[in-house]
Amino acid sequence: MIHGSLFSGIEGFALGAKWAGIKTKYSCEIEEFQRKVIQKNFSNIKQYDDIQKLYIRLYVDILSGGFPCQDISIAGKGVGIEGLRSGLWTEFYRIIRDTRPKYVLIENSPMLVVRGFERLLCDLAEIGYDAQWQCISNSDFGFPHKRERLYTFAYDTNKIRRTTIPFFAEITGEAKESWNREFSRINGDTFWGKDYPEFLRMDNGIPDNVHRLEAVGNAVNPFVAQYLFECVKLFDSIAA
């Protein structure tokens, strides 16, 4: 299966796809620092920048993206999906419509449920996509913080006709323990490194500190992304 990424950030989705054995074909990210991170870690991915200028016909099996949540998040002004930044959903929708991926993974704030989710689902239904959705917390995967996000899985009903297959699996029991063990294995290799100072200062000698904080803070957790891609593979094997 081939994956394409929109609103890519530092490519939490692409890393999760890689861990699940799925190749990422392209990404689209407007921020320069994030694109440098992608280039460093995924030099083989074709990069695009401004989604409003992206006109692509390249087919991928799975298209993912976390479109801007500033107008949707509880920390914002609550304008919703019609806002200037979160309104970029229309570009995401356009590319889904034009490229017709078999599956779509969408990440956003849980507040989307009351600030535009009906619009998103109606847009998808209009072009023949059905959807399932679930709020997932980082703590479900053994991380010491919640950061709950809404994940929507959509599929092309022209290609998948069995609509009663559950997509999201229960993250409990042995499955949850395996995620906890995996996180513990890599937890020593932290983002900050051993010599990161206790307090953040302008002259601490670490370049691009603010950009790093922003990039990691907005990133999709690659462990959650891997789980989602594994769910896609399972769903596809049952629906085939």
Task: Give catalytic residues, as residue numbers.
Answer: 69
Are the beta carbons of 3 and 23 closer than 8 angstroms?
yes
Q: Which of 32, 57, 27 is nearest to 42 (CA)?
A: 27
Structure tokens given for 236: 């596809």
Work out the angle between the directed axes of helices 222-239 and 12-19 (0-180°, nearest 10).
50
Cα four-point dihedral sign 70, 75, 76, 82 = positive
Structure tokens given for 66: 């976390």
CA distance 65 to 56: 15
CA distance 67 to 115: 14
What's the per-residue H, E or C state across 45-93? Answer: CEEECCHHHCCCCCCCCEEEECCCCCCCCCCCCCCCCCCCCHHHHHHHH
